[in-house]
Amino acid sequence: MTEYTLVRSARKTLAIEITRTGEVVVRAPRRAAKARIEAFVAQHAGWIAAHQAKQLERLAAHPEPDEAERAALIARAKAELPGKVAHYAAVMGLYPTGITITSARTRFGSCSGKNRLSFSWRLMQYPDEAVDYVVVHELAHIAHKNHGPDFHACVAAVLPDHKARRALLRW
């Protein structure tokens, strides 16, 4: 039987989550019977095993940096990202109102409604091609606030190989 942490709440459905460290969390309604929860976990044992392996592989590929590495990545982000943004902004004719470096874990970049770009320092653990992709992606959001066809055309106009670059971020 799969080991898991059970979290009961005012929800109506059962859900399984695999954490960043590969732990299994099962979310269940307050009154759900233990037998129903056990059967749900057993039914999804294959999915759980596959996703745990994927998370552990991802964790091994990108371990959490220590303080010195973190400081070096932040310094590198502050040194390199503004130049990359300025370069691609000139190429695309799309200019952000500002740039912020964050500690976000689940997204490499974002574009606010006021066209301010934010980038996670964790992005600096990836190849330059992937970093350039994220910069162009976020700049494209200045003109297109969604991921529609016009947005993708905007990214493709600057980086024809954008799909290969994006694939580098999957790890």
Correct CATH for 67-170 of 3.30.2010.10, 3.40.30.10, 3.40.50.2300, 3.40.50.150:
3.30.2010.10
CA distance 156 to 136: 9
CA angle 74, 20, 39 (to 5 degrees): 170
pLDDT of 124:
95
Q: Could you give the residue range(s) of every CATH 3.30.2010.10 domain in the chain?
A: 67-170
What pLDDT, on the 0 to 100 scale, is given for residue 102?
Answer: 96
Residue in this structure with the two tokens 């759980």, named with its chain if needed? 48
CA atoms within 13 A on the CB side of 67: 0
pLDDT reported for residue 156:
97
Q: Give 114-121 contacts, CB < 8 A, sequence gap 24+.
A: 115/142, 117/85, 119/77, 119/81, 121/70, 121/73, 121/74, 121/76, 121/77
pLDDT of residue 57: 87
Segments of the chain with pLDDT less than 50: none
* pLDDT score for 171: 58
- Give residue for tokens 């059962």: 14
